[in-house]
Amino acid sequence: MKGTKILKIVLDGFGSYLGMEKGCYIVRDREGNFQRYPQFEQEIGEVVLKSGNFVSVGALASLAFWEIDCLILTRKGRPVAVLKNLEDDSHVRTRICQYEALKNGKGVEIAKQIVLAKIKGQNQTLEKHGLKPRRSLTFVEGRINGIGSEDLRYVRRRLLGIEGSTYFKQIFRLFRMRPQYRKTFKAYDGMNNIFNLVYTLLEWKVYRAVLKAKLEPYLGFLHSEQFGKPSLVCDLMELYRYLADDFLIQYCGKLKLSKKDFVMKRESFSKRRKGQREYLNDSLTKDLMRDFYAYLEGRVEVPRIRHGSKQTLETLINEEALLLAKYLRNERKTWIPRITGTVLSEL
């Protein structure tokens, strides 16, 4: 398949079916209505399946063989799995270089570049919305460059102190419903859970980019290795969180969300304890996910690796992972993340 894969097949309705007939992917809903997607006439880039859908093994085999991304969601829309071709893990050299970077100094340089790019992006978001960054980029860059050690664990601790926590205190001032603080895991309030949802969607896009670049998702440089934590994915997410924040500032400002837009759901907090958490209602959650995916397809003024002065945000994420892999393999002398100021899309 030539060119960029652009078509996305999404099975949204409960009972929808994905099958394969005569070289076409077939999507059929509960009422029997169906749509054909010729495998070679249209450029299929992604298939999204949701709990409650049905799918044939033949369709799954075809998706894996042609390396078409397949994402599996829970009924609430949370990504839980991807379909991989077995040959995806055959590129050993890249992963060997990734492991070596923990000791040869490259890991330290990568961690520094991630924090610098993260703060640069955050400052751009603050300035865009009329807020003044607490620290200038020049000041932050000086502190980062002042860390002379090549001990990655030590550098991580120093960088953690540089990142700071004032950013969200400023950002939350732009929301009608203002959380008191940023809660990343198992938040109780609705606004923090909106941030967590959008970050989860971003995580999937970054995870996919890491896999395409043949990198090890669970071996990061800024984030330490922990069981069940895709630390490299967390690393690269830092480069784009500010864009997700900018999306939410615009999105929530447009909708003027209030308490009536949220629902309380009873969930297990632990094996012996249950409680309630606040979430955006199902209808608005569906709209939010749709609009954020559209936002990722907005264009940014960052030149592509080979040709073109602009590209989609999703393509930028994919390319950045490829450039990082090239740096690890010594095919590039440096790796400096490319930061964009604006996504050219209308919410």
Q: 202: which 2 tokens?
A: 């971003």
* CATH number, residue 111: 1.20.120.920
Shared domain check, 107 and 75: no
- What's the pLDDT at 163? 80
- Tens digit of each residue's pLDDT (9 = 90 or more) over 73-109: 888 777 888 898 888 777 899 999 999 999 999 999 9
Shared domain check, 118 and 24: no
> Looking at the domain assignment, is residue 319 inside a domain?
yes
- What's the pLDDT at 270? 66
Shared domain check, 335 and 316: yes
What pLDDT band is residue 2 in, cutting at 50, 70 and 90? Answer: very low
From 1-5, 286-290, 294-298, 339-343, the region with the lowest mean pLDDT: 1-5
Shared domain check, 103 and 84: no
> Looking at the domain assignment, is residue 331 inside a domain?
yes
- What's the pLDDT at 180? 74
> Looking at the domain assignment, is residue 309 inside a domain?
yes
> Looking at the domain assignment, is residue 1 inside a domain?
no
Rounded to 5 degrees, φ, ψ at 321 are -65, -40
Shared domain check, 82 and 65: yes
Shared domain check, 236 and 171: yes
Q: 165 or 335: whose pLDDT is higher?
A: 335
Shared domain check, 129 and 155: yes
Shared domain check, 193 and 120: yes
Shared domain check, 256 and 200: yes
Shared domain check, 266 and 164: yes
Does pLDDT of 165 surpass 70? no
Q: Which of 211, 227, 239, 232 is nearest to 98 (CA)?
A: 232
- What's the pLDDT at 210? 96
What pLDDT band is residue 211 in, cutting at 50, 70 and 90? Answer: very high
Residue 321: give the domain boundaries.
92-344
pTM, two decimals, is 0.88
How many domains, the chain? Answer: 2
